[in-house]
A and B are shown apart, each in its own frame.
Chain A
Amino acid sequence: MSAIAVNNLRKSFGKGTSRKDALKNVRFEIAEGSMTALIGPDGAGKTTLLRLLAGILQPDAGALQVLGHALPEEALPLQAQIGYMPQRFGLYENLTVEENLTLFADLHNIPEDRRKPRFDELLTMTALGPFRARRAGKLSGGMKQKLGLACTLIHPPKVLLLDEASVGVDPISRRELWSIIHRQVIHEKVTVLLSTAYMDEAERCDHVLLLHEGEILAQGSPADLVAPMQGHSFLLQEAAMTPRALQSQVARLPDVVDTAIQGDGLRIVIKTLDPLPLPPDPAVQGQLKPVPARLEDAFVSLLFNRNPHRSIPLPPAAKAAAHDAAVVEVKSLYRYFGSFAAVKDVSFSVHKGEIFGLLGANGAGKSTTFRMLCGLLPASSGTLRVAGADLRTGEAAARARIGYVSQKFSLYGALSVQQNLSFFATVYGLHRRRKRDRIGWALEELELKDYIAVNAADLPLGYKQRLALACALMHEPSILFLDEPTSGVDPLARREFWARVNALAQGGTTCLVTTHFMEEAEYCDRLVLMSLGEVLAEGSPTEIKGRVRRADRPNPSMEDAFISLIEEHEHVSRRAS
């Protein structure tokens, strides 16, 4: 029997002309005790689908059955049997860990005698036992997410619906979350449906649903979905060019669906089964060997087939950027909020035309460092030089030369694309001719022309991100700060974004980027790995990964590196104390 059955489901939002279909003709079944991943670009309808299944949205048409309960009529009896974790699980931050659990136990009517063993079990599973009496607001991002999961599992549920439960948490917490969820399926026979942005998580599920623009584009086991892609993936190694320059050459070939930098090589996915004809340039020639396909290849290729026109901007032909003067210099930077040190002894320098990454989980101190670099937040101590100006004295001079894209994009939602661009151009002091030129450039270069009259609030996330980028580039800054630009964005849009950043860097703009996606480290020239306000490591991706290479792990990923470095760091600091 299937735990979830959805037939001809339709749901739209808005009224009149702004009416938009969020889901159309969705049909699928999920077997009891199985684990299903819901993947798809941002705005594909993943959250809407999960909310419908949780009974908190009303479908326009179609049949929805969860555990034999028809929705939305039987939502109340169903809600006693399911667990649902929204994207941003709202814990009561003023309540302690145990009080949060008690509240959910009360809401689920769990008798007193069953509580203690269940609480103990959940707290052991999440390793939150020592923090029983701590307020939820004082937990780290990963711990909050684990507590959210524990609250969802309290009754325990027969069906578990998780909306991007692991996004933004550090790799260690992500592994822990995953093992908790996995255990529910194995030991408790819980049916799990989870939406995720991580392909490796989807790959570990029994079943994958690929949602795109409200429709199911493909479904099946990961193996089924990957099978047609076998033989299409290659790794190009030992070329004379740097992988980034190589990427810009290869990506423009007609049959290439996707390229991704992987370590010192370039991973290429092509449309046909024929061997890839490489460009004649000798610097491009290298060792091209077939590699096994991944789910991500299938995902990108399915979306690519659907929207072949979707142009991924290609970086201009690589011109060697002069990596000379340091344009950003940070020395022993500290920032305290009360007695809490958000940034501790951070030092690094960034050269002109570099893509420099600040990697770390939510709460690692990336955004705080960024705000100090942009002059939005004074440093507690340390030196900060941006574009040759000391931020403590020559703030205004430095600011004219920097662009900043904040985490939430800071666009004016009620203004159209054109009006936003015009406003930011005016704010940066551009006039007439130059203003017209720059707006024209932005509409052209960032492909915003089709959306010129649309209000920023109504843009799809990917376009919001582009518009924010355009606004920050109005005054042609020499340094660009991008704070979590790829958060919540699907792999395709992420690739597109990085290609743009790449192009900017090739043109001489220095780009500083924060991200919590470990694999995005590959796009950076150099990076710092941050955790709890401290720098764990600094260097190029290859250097950092090289530090944790062992005999049993010849090809460590950035995630492996992060975990090893954190463990090493904890070991050292424990010994020091």
Chain B
Amino acid sequence: MNRMRVTGLMRKEVYEIVRDPSSIAIAFVLPLVLLLIFGYGVSLDARRVPVAEVVDRPTYLTASFLGELAHSPWFHPARYADRASAERAMMQGRVQAILWLRSDFSRRFLSSGEAPIHLTVNGVDANQARIVQNYVNGTWQNWLQRQAALQGQPLALPVAVDVRIWFNPALTSRDYLIPGLIAIIMTLIGALLTALVVAREWERGTMEGIMVTPVAKTEVLVGKLVPYFVMGMGGMMLATAMAVFLFHVPLRGSLAVLVATTALFLLTALGMGLAISVLARSQFVAAMVAIVATFLPAFILSGFLFDIRSMPRAIRILTHIVAARYFVAALQTSFLAGDLWSVILPNLLGLIVLGIVFLGLSALRFRKRLD
């Protein structure tokens, strides 16, 4: 490798980055926008779920129970006169669940200490339905316990569950989602940056001019890789800062480990972009391939949203070639658990292997030729 040629190519790339806003947009504006949209939009928690309340015979007990519900952050209750109108509201999608306190609610509580409630949940979104069911159940149990305590008799529950949640004690799904989201965004940025700029050179005919100079192909590749690696790291810094300061995601691991993981992942992602650009010589095709071949698998198969362990075996095997899978796991550990080497090391190893594969593939397939 000749130093003058490589620095010449890198200097050219820097001028282009500075003067052409499109790559700056990819590296900095894209993570900013995506993180804002997804960070605020995607949440697996149920909050302020609209619930219809139907009370057949209101008493001070029903009022007390419903008061509990109204004060909880999870529900947004609305009172309906009878079950028929509540069902209508459910049909129209105005409420997600119906809580029905039948006429014997107070009587049975006073006589036997049990107060049956009747809950109908809209099960279209199974995940949300399960959450609503659990929340109502929890609120009900709490209320029963409190009432029993007030009356001086302990509630007889067969087993007392003492739940303790680790790593994300408040169970905020955002804390868990944002590190994964950063991994997805970095996948897109890494692949788009290189795939687009190389395809652009083919489109504008600049590549043909460059090829008939004594430049070696590794020099061309390094000249592309280094500037966009720096850009990508900048984008990652921005995303991390947003995660910590805007979304208040804890960063429990060390910065050094985070930087090292990111660097490894970025090389892999840029390698994927280069490999794509070897095949696709127009910006449009390159962008399409980059999205379909990197972003979508990262979204679906990285374990960011869907647990890999619950996938069928064939798909599970397939996830091993999705670089984002390793990065998602490493980032989630870095942010929420800390420098947990037993988790981070195998994932780093996965990234190293994939990085070698993709960079090697583009070095092998990139030719200083048109055919």
Is B352 an interface residue when CB atoms closer than 8 A count as contact?
no
Segment among A82-90, A331-339, A390-398 that sits at the interface with chain B? A82-90
Q: Which of B199-256 contact A (CB under 8 A)?
A: 201, 204-216
Complex CA–CA separation, A90 to B208 (angstroms): 8
Q: Taking the nearest CB of chain B, how far is it from the CB of A104, in angstroms?
A: 7
Q: Contact at B205–A109, with CB atoms within 8 Å?
A: no
Is B12 an interface residue when CB atoms closer than 8 A count as contact?
yes
Q: Contact at B214–A76, with CB atoms within 8 Å?
A: yes
Chain A residues near B20: list those with CB within 8 A. Answer: 94
Residues 77-100 of A, flagged 1 when their CB comes within 8 A of B and 0 if not, give 101101111111111111100010
Complex CA–CA separation, A75 to B371 (angstroms): 14
Q: Taking the nearest CB of chain A, how far is it from the CB of B209, in angstroms?
A: 5
Q: Taking the nearest CB of chain A, how far is it from the CB of B237, in angstroms?
A: 25
Q: Which of B1-37 contact A (CB under 8 A)?
A: 2, 4-5, 7-9, 11-12, 15-16, 19-20
Q: Contact at B371–A86, with CB atoms within 8 Å?
A: no
Chain B residues near A102: list those with CB within 8 A. Answer: 8, 11
Is A273 an interface residue when CB atoms closer than 8 A count as contact?
no
Complex CA–CA separation, A92 to B212 (angstroms): 15
Chain A residues near B11: list those with CB within 8 A. Answer: 102-103, 106
The number of inter-chain residue pairs (CB within 8 angstroms) is: 94
Number of chain B residues close to chain A: CB under 8 A: 30
Q: Which of B207, B209, B211 has the most CB of A within 10 A?
A: B209
Q: Contact at B204–A103, with CB atoms within 8 Å?
A: no
Q: Contact at A99–B15, with CB atoms within 8 Å?
A: yes
Residues 77-89 of B, flagged 1 when their CB comes within 8 A of A and 0 if not, give 0000000000000
Q: Taking the nearest CB of chain B, how far is it from the CB of A329, in angstroms?
A: 39
Is A446 an interface residue when CB atoms closer than 8 A count as contact?
no
Instruction: Considering the complex, give the chain B residue whose CB is closest to the CB of A161.
Output: B212
Q: A57-B369, A106-B5 are in contact. Are A79 and B214 (CB under 8 A)?
A: yes
Q: Contact at A57–B370, with CB atoms within 8 Å?
A: yes
Q: Contact at A54–B2, with CB atoms within 8 Å?
A: no
Instruction: Considering the complex, give the chain B residue whose CB is closest to the CB of A55.
Output: B212
Complex CA–CA separation, A80 to B214 (angstroms): 5
Q: Contact at A89–B209, with CB atoms within 8 Å?
A: yes
Q: Contact at A90–B207, with CB atoms within 8 Å?
A: yes
Q: Taking the nearest CB of chain B, how far is it from the CB of A514, in angstroms?
A: 23
Chain A residues near B213: list those with CB within 8 A. Answer: 79-80, 104, 107-108
Is A425 an interface residue when CB atoms closer than 8 A count as contact?
no
Complex CA–CA separation, A105 to B215 (angstroms): 11
Instruction: Considering the complex, give the chain B residue whose CB is closest to the CB of A89.
Output: B209
Complex CA–CA separation, A109 to B201 (angstroms): 21
Is B368 an interface residue when CB atoms closer than 8 A count as contact?
yes
Chain A residues near B214: list those with CB within 8 A. Answer: 76-77, 79-80, 107-109
Q: Taking the nearest CB of chain A, how far is it from the CB of B25, in angstroms?
A: 15
Residues in chain A within 8 A of chain B (CB atoms) = 13, 51, 54-58, 72, 75-77, 79-80, 82-95, 99, 102-109, 135, 148, 151-152
A-B contact pairs, 6 of them (CB 8 A): A57-B370, A79-B214, A80-B213, A90-B208, A95-B12, A107-B5
**Further 5 A-B residue pairs, CB within 8 A, beyond A51-B370, A151-B209:** A58-B369, A89-B205, A99-B15, A106-B5, A109-B4
